[in-house]
Amino acid sequence: MLEIEGLDVAYDDLQALWGIGLRVGSGEIVALIGPNGAGKSTLLRTIAGLVRPRRGEVRFQGQPITRTRPHDLVRRGIALVPEGRRLFARMSVLENLELGAFTPGARVRRNETQAWVYQIFPILRERRHQLAGSLSGGEQQMLAIGRSLMARPRLLLLDEPSWGLAPRVVEQILQIIAEINRRGVTILMVEQNVPAALGLAGRAYILEMGRIVAEGPAAELLQRDHVRRSYLGLLPGTA
């Protein structure tokens, strides 16, 4: 579904990504892990059309999208849930959801999609007339995901979905992401919670200092000494 080849991204004279190659197959959950400042969010923003690369190519369903405008990418089936949620705090839950269905195709099926979002997130139905800024952190994350689902994406880009959430809420969000995937949405997820990310994803990439340094089945990466030492704080051979 998504293919990236030789992608370089820079902010003025500061290069953020170097020769990135990545693929996401239809129906997969793929995790992107790495330390803060590695370029993970930059990569998602580049896929979503918010950042222009210096070189390289991004293809979606076999078609080049490297220079496609962000709103056109939403029409084609790519939606980003940004880090920090970026909700309209003084608008209601319902108004935030309706903004997600801005494309012509999504507007036609808005009621159907909204019913689906409420089925996945029942709390949003209960809170639909409440201001988004008054929701708890977990509820705001649910709303951010629900707003993106209103665009009826084929590929959902999730940037730190567990950011700032209590462990109990993180587990709930991860279960919801798995359910969204079971309903046919392909997912590329950036996540600092490495055990959670690798437990949920089928495959994963490790991004460090702007470069992909490892990739493979998530369960296999979880057992590598570098991952256990650098991201889990475990010594090789320890549980």
- The per-residue DSSP string of 41-63 comes to HHHHHHHTTSS--SEEEEEETTE
- Per-residue pLDDT band at 97 (split at 50, 70, 90): very high
Convert the pLDDT of each residue in 57-95 to its tens digit.
Answer: 999 999 999 999 999 999 999 999 988 778 989 999 999
Rounded to 5 degrees, φ, ψ at 85 are 75, -45
- 153-166: average pLDDT: 90
What is the residue whose two structure tokens read 């990236």?
4
What's the confidence (pLDDT) of residue 212? 95
DSSP H or E segment with residue 74: helix 70-76
8 A C-beta contact, residue 176 and residue 186 = no
* pLDDT for res 239: 47
Domain ranges of the chain: 1-77+183-239
Instruction: Calculate the dihedral angle through the C-alpha atoms of 89, 95, 97, 100, rounding to the nearest 10 degrees.
Output: -90
Measure the CA–CA gap between 224 and 237, rounded to whole angstroms: 10
- At 211, list the tokens: 């470069």
Q: Give yes or no for residue 151 having a pLDDT over 90.
A: yes
Res 144: pLDDT: 94
Rounded CA-CA distance 202/229 in Å is: 21
Select the CATH number that applies to the domain covering 1-77+183-239 from these four: 3.20.20.220, 3.30.1330.10, 2.60.40.420, 3.40.50.300.
Answer: 3.40.50.300
- Give tens-digit pLDDT for 135-147: 998 899 999 999 9
Position with higher pLDDT, 46 vs 235: 46
pLDDT in tens, 115-137: 999 999 999 999 999 999 999 98
- Lookup: tokens for 29: 């959950």
pTM of the model: 0.91
